[in-house]
A and B are shown apart, each in its own frame.
Chain A
Amino acid sequence: MSSLTIGNEHAAPTTPRAKVIQPGWVRTVHWINAVAIVLMIMSGWQVYNASPLFRFSFPASITLGGWLGGALLWHFAAMWLLMVNGLVYLTLGFATGRFAKKLLPVTPSGVIADTKAALTGKLSHDDLSKYNYVQKLLYIGIIVVGVVIVLSGLSIWKPVQLQYLTALFGGYDIARYVHFVCMAAICAFLVVHVALALLVPKSLRAMIIGR
């Protein structure tokens, strides 16, 4: 008699429950990363202003730290958040098979077809658990950029202790440009990423409550 009740209780909730699109660990590392990347970019702009690579500086109102010393404190604090969180993400991404399942395969023909569909407004967002080819390419791309920005940052920070890494980037001065270009790529990604999340609000909801 008791086993019957238990059986009923177990069966009841499975039917109306929507499937989880973004598991808890993905949501957690996503939002930690969001905070870390904003802190890194805003403090990084202030650091850039101390010795600009190009003929422009970032307005003080969008930078963090107040001055070079303050910005470096933020930058070298948030880097731990970014690196540790990033390593957790990469480890779990590979270990759980999420990367293989969600991001592969990427075919050139698929990317071209989905780009066309996106530009003509025909791209479907019915199944958020499946990424289209443009998404796959962008997400793989931003993971690679994330790895390169950390490595180029390390080679600027430690050009003696990690001199082989610095040499890999073509030396200290070039590593600074690589670091800057990666930042610009992340900013460009963020514009598209945030705009699309707002255009397809259920994707934002999935990243908050999972479903």
Chain B
Amino acid sequence: MTTPVAPALPTPATGGSREAPVRRRRARPSPSERRERNAALRFISPWIVGFVVFTAWPILYSAYLSLTDYDVINDPTFVGLDNYREMAQDPKVALSLWNTLVYTVVQVPLYTVVALALALLLNQAARSAGFFRTAFFIPKMTPPVAVGVLLLLLFNGQYGIVNEVLSWVGIQGPSWTTDQDWIKPGLVLISLWTVGSAVIILLAALRNVPNDLYDAARVDGAGFWRRTRAVTVPMISGALFFVVVINTIAGFQMFTEAYSAYFGAGNSTYRNDTALFYVIYLFQEGFQELHMGYASALAWLLFVVIMLVTVVQLVVSRRLVYYEGEQR
């Protein structure tokens, strides 16, 4: 990790700006360096405290808990790797992991493509872009619980507007909210409703693509799709990558919309396996069944999975993502 290039701000010690810092390893920090460091740490101390108490300690503690049986009411009992063994055999772990994976694998590309399509459209619209951009963004402000409500209502198999619209083009829509094959697709579709923020990101990236590249491509006789593939996508690949990574991580942690619509006190008899996402299962095990030890083990599995996926994405990005100024 490189130290960032000199900030534009003067340092208190010298009162002036420096150019690129010279990093020399010195035996001990000079008094002025120490002063500066202590001053900095004073400002940073809230984060450090928070990190220790709410991040570092919980990580360690969670690792410990995952080796115990703990229901909060009684003391924890050490059980070694039992939780992990149980996880390996628990059909709901496999099920919820599968549900989450399927959802994410379908949702992320679809979401990105839709966002890109809308951004491309907006890019062509110039003056009126602002109005449309606002319209696309507003749904993002809807609280996810309300999104869950909208899912149940708009996608209702019998009366929902979605099936109504589908019937205009002759398709008989399925029961999105009760048919086990269509519940996840329903969740994917409604996630597309909040695509607005990604649209804005991609639009900003599109606008940064220099015009001359397009002109050059056009002179070479490239048609629209060719231009898009050869110029647009590489030039905005940074932003695309960003959207993909963020949404993947979010997808793996899908909770609120599905929980509001399909779980909770009112739904206890109609539990639906296909909407059991990993974090929902974790939440149930931890806070409903009070199997805190088991839930901690589940949390660690999630952590590992997300880390793996993110690392893979980062590795892939080195090959695919193009940053201006790089030699390719």
Tell me, yes or no, whether A binds B.
no
Task: List residues of A whose CB falls within 8 A of some B CB.
Answer: none
